[in-house]
Amino acid sequence: MTVLLPFVVNAGLNFVLGLMIAFFLGPAEFGRYAIGAAIVVLVNTAMLDWIKLSAVRFYSLKTRETQPEIRATLDCLIAGISISLCALLLAAVAAGVDFRMPAMMLAASVLAGIGAGLFDYHGAIARARFLDAAYARLVIVKNLLALILMVGGAWLTRDPTVVLLGGLLSAAVALVSVRKTLADAPLSFSAARRDLAWTFAKYALPLVAGNAIYSLIPLLNRSLLAGAHGFAEAGYFSLASDMGLRLFGTLGATLEIVLLRAVIRLDETRGRRAAQKRIAANIVIVLAVALPAVVGFWLILPAFDRMLVPPSFQGRFSAYMALLLPGFAAITIFQAALYPVFLIEKRTLVTTLAAVIGLCVNLAIVAALATSGPMVYGVAQTAAFLAVLAITAVMALRSLPVLPPLRDCGAILFAVAAMAATIWPLRDRFDPALELVLQVVAGALAYGAIVVICDVARCRTLALLWWAGRRGRRA
């Protein structure tokens, strides 16, 4: 499927991007850059993400033909909020408001957040119209340019502001490359409807409030860590946090896009119950991908740290990453497996409540254990995300008419345990490159064999049917 290509490219380039920026900036400047990058995520999530989510839920090939006012309203909202944010930023800088960071870096962060919001919105439009080639072009152009401009800026200037501006420019060029393909009609304020805008707000803002809190947690932890232990320590934490959020965020988004399209189509064509049954089946698929990815990454951390992490971050990166990985698993499972339950039912207030509780857990742990050292911030962030998963899992599973097949879930856990038993004896035994290859290959074979033997999510059955159909067509 063409829509998967950009995510494969995105995951690889995001790894390279973060590591190379960290290598050229060093721990202290990377700590400053990471705070700016967290502001980018917060601006995008808090101010613009609700429009993207509304596009995912309300805009489709069918509504494009029958209700053109939906796209007109979405376009006017995204344009109006982007212009308003730029005006507020200009007024704040002109008034000399003290944000406890350089004005240029703040401006670059806010503008990059707007660019990220526009990028995500147009990506949602492309997916809604099944324009997989345009979506692939959008993502690949953005990521390739980000690799060139952001890493190049870090190498030439060692300035985090320049790196942030490189990210903004890469998003802008990517949007220009697909502008004509994704346009329905010229922007028309007269075609937009206030009642639709209110419908979008009621649907998406509770969910966005939750997402904004999720993005606030890393920003808060980085800022507190920098204040208590210096920007270098914040840089160590931020590299692990950024790498994990990018990798597992990409994994969650990939699964969400591939699985959610079928759920929404079922909801439109066969009804709510059919869509909910598909969500229950999809939970198994998410667990089958997310759990081995998290456990496998933890097992290969020593070799990964020695081979790929910049020398000035080695040791500290793996220490933080080991603490943060359970939280990344929780967010991936929530995003890809549980979020569709609340999206389909338009019951998004639950996610906001879960996010508030997660933030309170984070703050409580930091306040109680602040004197225990910098590692407490990793513990607090993971505990917050696990709290979110626990709350949303209980609410989501109670809403579904059927539970995920317990046999498949048990088989996945057994396969992950077998993978861990295979990889563990290989740790710290060989040269990092050889060790990494051996661990990945051995772990994948062990896990894949058990999943196929147990026919998890009917993978063996479907593969045999596909092969039989192919042989029949050839005959």
Crossing angle of helices 132-157 and 160-177, rounded to 10°: 160
DSSP state of 403: P
Average pLDDT estimate for 372-377: 90
Residue 4 has pLDDT above 60, yes or no: no
Residue 288 has pLDDT above 80, yes or no: yes
Report residue 297's pLDDT band, with 50, 70 and 90 as the boundaries. Answer: very high
Are 105 and 164 in contact by the 8 Å Cβ rule? The answer is yes
Give the per-residue pLDDT at 226. Answer: 87
Q: What is the pTM of this model?
A: 0.81
Are 221 and 366 in contact by the 8 Å Cβ rule? The answer is yes
Crossing angle of helices 103-128 and 49-58, rounded to 10°: 0
Are 307 and 433 in contact by the 8 Å Cβ rule? The answer is yes
Give the per-residue pLDDT at 448. Answer: 92
Token pair for 80 = 């109006």
Q: Can you tell me the distance from the alpha carbon of 240 to that of 117, in angstroms, rounded to the nearest whole number?
A: 24
pLDDT in tens, 115-159: 999 999 999 888 888 888 888 888 889 988 998 999 999 999 999
Give the per-residue pLDDT at 287. Answer: 93
Q: Can you tell me the distance from the alpha carbon of 273 to that of 13, in angstroms, rounded to the nearest whole number?
A: 39
Task: Encode 176-197 in three state secondary structure.
Answer: HHCHHHHCCCCCCCCCCCHHHH
Closest to 207 measured CA to CA, from 347, 75, 74: 347
Average pLDDT estimate for 437-459: 90
Q: Please state which of the ranges 131-135, 144-148, 224-228, 231-235 shows the lowest mean pLDDT.
A: 131-135
Provide the 10 A C-beta neighbour count for residue 373: 11
pLDDT in tens, 304-336: 999 989 999 999 999 999 999 999 999 999 988
Give the per-residue pLDDT at 3. Answer: 54
Give the per-residue pLDDT at 108. Answer: 93
* Mean pLDDT for all residues in the chain: 87
Report residue 7's pLDDT band, with 50, 70 and 90 as the boundaries. Answer: low
Give the per-residue pLDDT at 84. Answer: 93
Phi (first) and psi of residue 402, to 5 degrees: -135, 155
Q: Can you tell me the distance from the alpha carbon of 348 to that of 392, in angstroms, rounded to the nearest whole number?
A: 10
Give the per-residue pLDDT at 5. Answer: 61
What single letter denotes the amino acid at residue 194?
R
% of the chain residues with pLDDT over 70: 96
Are 278 and 403 in contact by the 8 Å Cβ rule? The answer is no
Residue 198 has pLDDT above 60, yes or no: yes
Report residue 351's pLDDT band, with 50, 70 and 90 as the boundaries. Answer: confident
Residue 185 has pLDDT above 80, yes or no: no
pLDDT in tens, 52-92: 988 887 887 778 877 888 888 888 999 999 999 999 989 88
Give the per-residue pLDDT at 364. Answer: 95
The more confident residue out of 198 and 191 is 198
Report residue 455's pLDDT band, with 50, 70 and 90 as the boundaries. Answer: confident
Q: Map out the domains of the chain as residue ranges.
A: 1-192, 206-404, 406-475
Q: Please state which of the ranges 147-151, 234-238, 348-352 shows the lowest mean pLDDT.
A: 348-352
Average pLDDT estimate for 10-19: 76
Helix (H) or strand (E) holding 455: none
Residue 12 has pLDDT above 80, yes or no: no
pLDDT in tens, 394-410: 999 998 888 888 999 99
Residue 469 has pLDDT above 80, yes or no: no
Helix (H) or strand (E) holding 374: none
Crossing angle of helices 376-399 and 316-333, rounded to 10°: 10
Give the per-residue pLDDT at 9. Answer: 66
Residue 445 has pLDDT above 90, yes or no: yes
Q: Please state which of the ranges 284-293, 334-343, 445-454, 464-473 shows the lowest mean pLDDT.
A: 464-473
Average pLDDT estimate for 332-344: 88
Residue 295 has pLDDT above 70, yes or no: yes
pLDDT in tens, 104-117: 998 999 999 999 99
The more confident residue out of 91 and 205 is 91
Residue 235 has pLDDT above 80, yes or no: yes
What b/e sequence results for 217-228 when a residue is b if at least 16 CB atoms lie within 10 Å of its CB, and e otherwise? bbbbbbbbbbeb
Closest to 32 measured CA to CA, from 243, 305, 227, 256: 227
Average pLDDT estimate for 197-223: 83
Exposed / middle / buried, residue 94 (Cβ in 10 Å: 0-12, 13-18, 19+): exposed
CA 338, distance to chain mean position in Å, is 14
